[in-house]
Amino acid sequence: MKHALRTSALSTLLAMAAAGAAASGSHADAIGEPGVPAKATRTVQVDMTDGMRFTPADVRVKQGETVRFVVKNAGQLKHELVLGTEQSLKAHYEAMKKNPEMEHAEPNMVTLAPGKTGEVVWRFTHAGKVDFGCLQPGHYDAGMKGAVTVAALPAVDRR
């Protein structure tokens, strides 16, 4: 029994590590890379509520832009904002449901106690869509998710 629990926990942690490595910004990854705070071109304020919503839930940025997300937990429950692909968010969420007290910190996420504020600074290197969600058990299923639409730059402006 202990061996089965250890194996299950190890499998979950390996899946989380893989999802975290993908989300933390390899060049092949579609969501971008951690941003340098001094290079942030703008700040987006995001509120998280116990109504299982982000405000705003839709954000538009330009390819190459570095954005500072100042995230406030306006609720009475713990919430988090995690940037990722829909697939990586779903995998991470399943791991969180199995291990709800798991603590983790990656540059693509911020986990906040009620009333607290934190930030994520992210550089969006690829055009397309980057999803975000709260992966606390029950929250993602309740609709606590959103998206960043990354507009492509004209070919001459890409850096």
CATH code at position 142? 2.60.40.420
Task: Give the predicted TM-score (pTM) of the model.
Answer: 0.79
Q: 39: left (phi > 0), else alpha (psi -120 to 50), else beta?
A: alpha
Q: pLDDT tier at 95 (50, 70, 90 boundaries)?
A: confident
**pLDDT, mean of residues 34-57:** 98
Q: pLDDT tier at 159 (50, 70, 90 boundaries)?
A: low
Q: pLDDT tier at 24 (50, 70, 90 boundaries)?
A: very low
Look at the chain and report how many structural domains it folds into: 1
Q: What is the pLDDT of residues 2-16, one digit of tens each?
A: 444 333 443 334 344
The pLDDT of residue 29 is above 90: no
**pLDDT, mean of residues 25-46:** 84
Domain range holding 132? 2-157
The residue ranking higher by pLDDT, 152 or 30, is 152
Sequence-distant (6+) residues with CB within 8 A of 133 are: 81, 82, 84, 89, 93, 139, 140, 144, 145, 146
Question: What pLDDT score was predicted for residue 17?
Answer: 41
The residue ranking higher by pLDDT, 27 or 121, is 121
The pLDDT of residue 28 is above 50: no
The residue ranking higher by pLDDT, 98 or 131, is 131
Distance CA 1, CA 66 (A): 48
